[in-house]
Each structure stands twice: as structure tokens, then as C-alpha cells.
Amino acid sequence: MNIGNLPFVAAALLVVFGIYTFLFKRNLIKLVIGVSLVETGVNLFLVTLGYRTAGIAPIYTFAPEAERMVLPTPQALTLTSIVIGLATTALLLSFAVFIHRHYGTLDVRKVKELRG
């Protein structure tokens, strides 16, 4: 079955949902989820860029001519981006833990000493 442009649509939807969550939710953990959603959308977009229908993995020293291969570079980019995403998510969540310790809440409306 040919899935056509569906993965691109899915990636765009993930990014939009993520940005919506980031802008309109008030719980710090949900903000982190929003950022993660955007990140997943971008990663899906990158992998989809390199995908070729019925392609094989590009692991050759001398590549055969006729084979269809998926592109390796976007996969390398995605892997890097996932690792970076892990670091940022961990850092964000640990900030959320400490904010909960100091303020006793995760509601952004109550965590607002820094204004103006």
C-alpha cells in the first residue's frame, strides 16, 4: 500500500498540536509534553524526508546500482536530534521538579515571581 504524503501530514499535525499545547496549557508538565510533541513531529518529518517506498537500508561499501535505498543522512540527523531532545526534556523536567519543591504547585499562573 502506498501511504503517499500521510507521514508529512502526521508530522505537521504533531507540530501544530505541540505548539497548541505549549501556548494554551497551564501545567508545567503539559508544557514539556507540548515541546516533546513538536520535537517528535520534526523528527518524523526528517525520517520521512529520507524514506523511499520499498527502499532498503543503505549499508554498503560499494552500492549496487539498481537498488532503491532510503537516504542515510536524515536518519543520522534524526538520531542526533533525538539525543538532544532527551537532554532538553530531562533538563526541563528537573526544573519542573524543583519548581514544585519551591512553589508547591505546577500551575504556571501561580509560578510568576519574574514579571515585567
Partner 1 sequence: MTALTNHAPVLLIAIPLLGAFGVPLIGKLGRTARNTFVGLLALITAAFAGLLAASVFGQAGAPSLYVLGGQGFGIPLPSGSTVPIRIILEVDGMGAFMALITALITLTGAFFSFSYWKERSGGTLFYSLLMLLTAGIFGMELTGDMFNFFVFLEVTSIAACGLIGFRVWLKNSQEAGFKVMALYTLSGLFVLLAVGLLYGQYGGLNIAYLAGALTGSTIDIVALGLLLTGLALKAGAVPMHMWAPDAYGEAPAPMSAVLVANSQASLYGLFRVLFTLFGLTVSVAALGWILIVLALMTIFVGVTMALIQNDIKRLIAYGAVSQIGYMLLGVGVGLAVSAAKPDYGFVAMQGGIFHMINDAACIGLLFLASGVIVRATGTRDLNKMGGLAHSMKWTSVLFIIGAFALAGVPPFNGFASKFLIYEASFKLSPFLAVVAVLSSILLLAVFVKVFQAAFLGARQEGLTSEVPMGMMVPMVALALVVIAFGLFPGFFVDKIVTPAANALWYGRDAYIGLVLGGG
Measuring CA to CA, how many Å separate 61 from each of 26, 42, 55, 56?
A: 52, 30, 17, 14
From the list 18, 87, 81, 84, the residue with the least C-alpha distance to 49 is 81
User: Which of residues 58 and 74 has its CB atom nearest to partner 1 in the complex?
Assistant: 74
| Interface with partner 1 (CB under 8 A), residue from 9, 95, 104, 107 | 95
Nearest approach, Cβ of 56 to partner 1 (angstroms)? 19
From the list 46, 54, 52, 55, the residue with the least C-alpha distance to 75 is 46
Near partner 1 by CB under 8 A, which window of 52-60, 61-69, 95-103? Answer: 95-103
Distance CA 18, CA 30 (A): 10
Residue 98 binds partner 1, judged by CB under 8 A: yes
Residue 62 binds partner 1, judged by CB under 8 A: no
| Interface with partner 1 (CB under 8 A), residue from 6, 26, 52, 88 | 88
Collapsing DSSP to helix, strand or coil, 27 comes out as: strand
User: 8 with 49: CB under 8 angstroms?
Assistant: no
Residues in the site for partner 1, rule: CB under 8 A? 15, 22, 28, 31-32, 35, 38-39, 42, 45-46, 49, 73-74, 77, 80-81, 84, 87-88, 91-92, 95-96, 98-99, 102-103, 111-114, 116
